[in-house]
Structure 1
Amino acid sequence: MLGERDPGLQPERTRLAWRRTTLAGTVVAVLAGKAGVAGGASGSVLAAGAVCCVGWVGVLTVAHRRIRRLAGDSREPERLAVRWAVGVVVCVLLTAGGGVGVVLG
């Protein structure tokens, strides 16, 4: 029927979105590392690279936890808690900021 919603589609789309987010974070971390190595490793570049890596690991942790929860069972998945949402936003900002710091440093 046209008006019915398949409850299995939304969790699948959300899992795929988390995977894209982790892939984007990985690309930022790798490119920041490449820029840091190519530009010479000063103290500020190493610090920015460390911030980038810490943010990337945080994003991976939250994303992996969320992907496991979404793949768990056929019930409707629970909402992402506010503290985890804030945590992933902070980690994304750390990753991006660290990447920019490496490139500009």
Structure 2
Amino acid sequence: MTESAPPTPAHRDPGLQPERTRLAWRRTTLSCTVVAVLAGRQAAIEQLTVASLVAMALTTFVWLGFLGVAHRRMRTVGSSPSPGPMSVRAAVTAAACTVALAGFAVAMVG
């Protein structure tokens, strides 16, 4: 019985991993969109004050930032059979957008 050598990086078969990663980014983007829409709805149902308009504008800005990071990552994963790791800047931006949306949610509910 002969043992085969492990695949070299040049012959790596990524399988479905890039597709799963792209789908995960799509689900996360959809969740982020739902949060932004519900935050806007909550602010509109209450009464439109300067604070609620600022919160809606900040939520939209953060949502657009996250959407940009996610779209760039999905495009990178889809275009290469072996995409590199996410840049530190993109990871920090995605994490900051997530934390900011959570903070805005707490501020709007409270």
Question: Shorter-normalised TM-score: what interval?
Answer: 0.7 to 0.9
Pairs within 5 Å for 1:92-103: 92-103=98-109
Bigger RCO of structures 1 and 2 (CA < 8 A, at least 6 apart): 1
**Identity fraction in percent:** 49
Structure 2 length normalisation: TM-score?
0.81
- Unpaired runs of 5+ in structure 2? 1-6
- Matched length: 100
**Which position in structure 1 is the counterpart of 2:77?**
70
Opposite residue 107 of structure 2, the aligned amino acid is G
Supply the distance in 2 between the matched residues of 1:100 and 1:61 (Cα, whole angstroms): 24
Structure 1 length normalisation: TM-score?
0.85
- Unpaired runs of 5+ in structure 1? none
Of 49, 54, 59, the residue aligned with 1:52 is 59
How well do the aligned residues superpose, as a CA RMSD in angstroms?
Answer: 1.7
Find the structure with the greater CA-based Rg: 2
Runs of 4+ in 1 over 6 A off after TM superposition: none
Residue-by-residue CA offset, 1:21-43 (whole Å, 9 max, x unaligned): 11011001110111111101111
Residue-by-residue CA offset, 1:45-79 (whole Å, 9 max, x unaligned): 111212211111011000000000011032x1110
Of 81, 89, 94, the residue aligned with 1:83 is 89
Supply the distance in 2 between the matched residues of 1:8 and 1:60 (Cα, whole angstroms): 26
